[in-house]
Structure formats: C-alpha cells, structure tokens
A and B are shown apart, each in its own frame.
Chain A
Amino acid sequence: MALEVDIKKTVGKFTLDVKFEAEQEIFALLGASGCGKSMTLRCIAGIDTPDEGRIVLNGRTLYDSEQKINLTPQKRNVGYMFQDYALFPNMTVVKNIMAGMGKHPSMDVVQRYIEMFQLNGLEEHLPRQLSGGQKQRVALARMMAAEPEILLLDEPLSALDAYLKWQMEEELLEVMKRVDKTVLFVSHSRDEVYHLCDTVCVLEKGHMETIQGKREFFANPQTVAAARISGVRNISAAKRLSDHELYAEEWGIYFCCDRPIREDLAFVGIRAHYIEISGDDEIKERNMAEMTVDHLFEQQFESELVLHPGLENGKKMRLLMEKEKAEMLAKKKKIRIHFPEEALLLLRE
C-alpha cells in the first residue's frame, strides 16, 4: 500500500473526514471548491495538522495522533505543487530547482531537470519573467528534483488559460506516467480527471462520497454528488416503488428497470446525451414521456434542448444533440422522449 490516509479535522463549522488508500497510481480527489480537497493534501504534506487519525506513506508513519507522531514537512519527503506554484520570486529558475536538492546540489542533475522540463535558455530568468506554462514546468522540475516519494498536485491546471491548459495537460500526463510514484491530484474539473487519472475519489462537504476507477466513475456514479460532479445534468429525486419500478418525482415519470433497483435509491439521473427522441407515432411501452419545449441553448458544436415536464416545481430536462436537429425540434411545442433503460443512473444520497 503506497499511501494510507484516515484523518479528521474540524475548522469552525467545517469537518473534514476522509479515509482512503492509494496505490502507485494517479489518484484524483474531485470535488467542488471548499469541499476539503486542498486541506487533505495539506494534511498529508504536513502543512496543516489533522485533529486525529493517521497517515502512512510506503510503510512510514507520517502522522499518528495515537502514537503522537507528527513529522515535519521536511522529513515527510512529499512533493507538493501549489495552485499558484509558489515559486521563490527572488530566485532564478536554476536556484528554484536547486532549493530542494540539499546543501551541495549537483549541476549535472539540475541540467537534467532543465532539459526534462524544456527550460533551456530560461536558467537565469526570474519567475516573474516566465509565462504560466513555464512557471508550471519550473514548479514541476523543482518538486521532482527534491526526489519526493509521492506527488501532491493542488489544482495544477487551474491557473492556466484554456489553450495552455490543454497543452500542459499532455505534458503533465507524460510526467506522471514516467515517475512511477503515487500521484494525488486535486481538481474540481471532471475533464482534467478524465484525461489524467486512474482512480477518482469524490469529496463533498468534507466527507468522502465514493472511490471508483475512472471509467466506472463516469459510467456508473453511485451517489448524487458523484453523478453531479461527473457531469450528469439531469437528476431528479426518486422513490423506489418495487424491485423494478421507480417514480422520478421532479419529472413526474414512472420508470421500469430490468435490473433490481437499489434499496437506498434516492435519485435517478440520465446524461443529456443519452435521452432519445421518439417519433410521434412510435409507441414504446415503457420509459417514455412527453415534455414541453422550454428553450434552446446553443453551444459551440452542439445544442442543448431544454424541456419542461409540465409539473409544478418540475425540474427541467436537458438534451444534447446536433445543432440542426435541435433547431428543428425546438420549433415543436411538445416532444416525446425515450429513456434507454441502461442509461438510467440509480443513485443514493
């Protein structure tokens, strides 16, 4: 086991309570801002101290409230990349990289990191003279040069603009694949997580929702918070009626399912891409509904057709489709839609 974390920490009204184990993999902590992702990383690095619990890295106890162990960040050998990179503004690129290399840094090693992160020619630049992408490369090089046992990345891409983000994502992926170490990756962006990570842990208001493999997480989220953060737009409170029937309260639709419905069902969801349009004369016996066209929301490559279930306090339904098709459908008043059974997400609280 590479990293074991089981900690609790209360700050004011907020309580962080997380427990997970990460192998040698890219492990994502995904959640909205303020859910405790960064605090978890800071506790692992030793910047914040939990109230209780334990943290073990590769068999070495970094923190244990019962044994009264709390190593200083210096002794933890943990690499931490800050959201704003926290490069030392008074030091050149080379000096920044050497900062974590002990008293007698070898210039050969520094040179190796300069080349690995394509910083040639920038050796004597100060951080303020670098672009966002270059800053991130220096931060990565500095972290790697200290030879940490684990990498903690706190929203590494959030400080970059969209174009750069896309480019740095690839570079980051390459670095993470190459290092063969546990990487803990904190993010609020499901796209980043989808591109970069193996395992996803969803945090919601300080507690852990679920830990799943990436594919499983996106295909079959278990909780309503996990579904929301994985990008499911259509979610309705639901009541379980029997082993194979449920009622979506906010849409006013009865659904049937061949697979057994979970006992703790609280919500039902479906991705905007998976809802089908049925012709007017087409008759399918189940999982159909007729909804009023509310409005059309144009996006760059697709359009979002927003439907209203016609219920009081009903929740709108969003369908994503090709632009032309959406425009054509938007002219109609009412549309019949079909929910493929395998696309229904049965969610717990």
Chain B
Amino acid sequence: MNALGDLLSGLDWSPLFISLKTGVVATFVSFFLGIFAARKVVRAGAKTKAIADGILTLPMVLPPTVAGFFLLLLFSTRRPVGMFMLNHMGIKVVQTWLGCIIAATVIAFPLMYRNARAAFEQLDSNLVYAGRTLGMSDFSIFWKVIVPNAGPGIIAGTILTFARALGEYGATSMLAGNIPHKTSTISQRIAMVIQDGDYMTAGVWVIIILIIAFGIIVAMNLVAGKNMKNIQRW
C-alpha cells in the first residue's frame, strides 16, 4: 500500500491534463466540422455522397499509423507545407501540442461526422420543409430545428469523439512524439513506462483511463435514455 501511496504522490500528472486538453479541443473542432460535413454530405447527390463519405470515414478504418504517416508527410518541417508554415507563420506542428490536437482531430472526426449524418438522415424532412414555408432562413432552420431534433445522435457523436480523441495513440506518437510535459498523453505514457518495465505506473494510468472511459459510456447511456423517453420500446 505504501508503495502505491508513494507512487501516486510522486506521479507526474501532466499526461492527464495534456490528454484532457487535447480531447476537449479536438472534440470542439470535430463537433463543428463533423456537423458541417454531415450536412453537406446529406444534401449531396448519390455519387458525391459515396466519394465524400469514403474520404471522411477513412481515418476511422485505417490504422492510425497510416493517418500519422500522411500527417507527417504533410506537416514535416522538411516538406513544403510544413516548411511554409514554419517559415511564414511560425507554426510548428511536428513535436508540438498542436500536433497532438491535429492527430486526435483527424482520427476522432469520423465518429462525429457519422453520428451527425445518421441523426440528420433520420430527421423528418417535413420539419425542414415546414421551416422553409414559414420563411425561416436555412441557417436558423439548421440550428433551431435540425440540430436540436437530431440531439441524441449528435450528443452520442460528441461523447464518442471525445473518448476517441482522449485515447489517441498511433497518429499522435508519430506526429507529436512523446515529449514529457508537452506532448506526452496518457496512452503514450503507458507505452513508455511499460517499455521501462514499470508495470505499477502503467497500471495506475490504465485505471485512470478505464474510469474515464467507463464514465463516458455511462454518461452517454444516461443522455440517450433521457432523450429516448418518448420513443416506444419493443
């Protein structure tokens, strides 16, 4: 017990905050981008839909290292885009917290997009038409009618996006690296301490991640249950 106490008191908590910060920012960005993309795809023609949906969903089904490879290809300071960003805007993505965010966003975005899309497709289209004949602008129909009524799907998407962003490992380790206090997220810290054979510390982080993940799933079920109150069960 004492050993655990010593471990906890001496533990570097920074991975928790880096992971949480990354998760929140990536979720925030994915929320708007995902809803925006879902809206565009739902309205697109069949061919555009199939292709756009493929591209937007790809990061979810590819190994994260493949996404990491593409991100490195894009943002490496030895490549045109990365070089341009560093020299002209002073922005460095590789080996920085920004890299964590970009990696997590790219990987988690499809969850937001797919959930939002499913929610929009289930929405009664007459609600949209009613809004139009009443003279509401498409913008206000979207935010006042579509988003609230697609609520459960969008909330589920948001929570899943957060969970995925929080635990992202593959692409993050390639793009942002594992720099303590800077880009070292919980999942990267676990991998690192296990390599050092420090199973005790790894176990503590595993428990922390388990608690957060379980909390997220329970929260999602509670929210979904609340919104499903009026839907009849079979």
Interface residues of A (CB under 8 A from B): 42, 45-47, 72-74, 76-80, 82, 84, 86-91, 99-100, 102, 128, 142-143, 146, 148
Are B126 and A84 within 8 A (Cβ)? yes
Q: Which of A99, A100, A143 has the most CB of B within 10 A?
A: A99
Contact flag A88-B127 (CB < 8 Å), given A74-B137, A128-B230: yes
Besides the known contacts A46-B132, A80-B129, 10 further A-B residue pairs in the complex with CB atoms under 8 A apart = A42-B129, A46-B133, A47-B133, A72-B132, A74-B136, A78-B133, A86-B130, A88-B144, A143-B134, A146-B133
Q: In the docked arrangement, what's the CA distance between A280 and B21, Å?
A: 98
> Contact partner of B149 among A73, A76, A88, CB < 8 A?
A88
Residues of B within 8 A of A84 (CB): 124, 126
Q: Does B131 contact A (CB under 8 A)?
A: yes
Q: Give the residue of A77, A90, A99 whose beta carbon is less than 8 angstroms from that of B131.
A: A99
In-complex Cβ contact of A90 among B133, B134, B149 (8 A):
B149
CB contacts under 8 Å to A, within B118-159, are 124, 126-127, 129-137, 144-145, 148-149, 151
Measured CA separation A93–B151 after assembly (Å):
20
Whole-angstrom CA separation of A47 from B144 in the bound complex: 19
A80-B129, A128-B230 known; A86 and B124 CB under 8 Å?
yes
**Once the chains are docked, how many angstroms separate the CA of A100 from the CA of B136?**
6
- By beta carbon, the residue of chain B nearest A148 is B133
CB-CB nearest in chain B for A95: B144
Q: For the side of the interface on B, what is the size category?
A: 10 to 19
Question: Can you list, as one digit per residue, whether each of B93-136 has a CB less than 8 Å from chain A (1) or not (0)?
Answer: 00000000000000000000000000000001011011111111
Q: Is A79 a contact of B230 with CB atoms below 8 Å? A: no
In angstroms, how far is the closest chain A Cβ from the Cβ of B122? 13
Q: How far is the CA of A120 from the CA of B148 in the complex (A)?
A: 26
With beta carbons under 8 angstroms apart, the residue of A73, A78, A82, A99 that contacts B126 is: A82
- Contact between A99 and B127 (Cβ–Cβ < 8 Å)? no
A102–B140 CA distance with the chains assembled, in angstroms:
11
**A100 & B129 in contact (Cβ 8 Å cutoff):** no
Cβ–Cβ contact B149 & A47, under 8 A: no
Q: B145 contacts which of A45, A80, A88, A146 (Cβ < 8 Å)?
A: A88
Judge whether A142 and B134 touch: CB under 8 Å.
yes
**Cβ of B137: which chain A residues have Cβ within 8 Å of it?**
74
CA of A87 to CA of B149 in the docked complex: distance in angstroms?
11
Given the complex, which residues of B lie within 8 Å of A45, measured CB to CB?
129, 133
Question: Which residues of chain B are within 8 angstroms of A86 by Cβ–Cβ distance?
Answer: 124, 126-127, 129-130
Given the complex, which residues of A lie within 8 Å of B149, measured CB to CB? Answer: 88-90
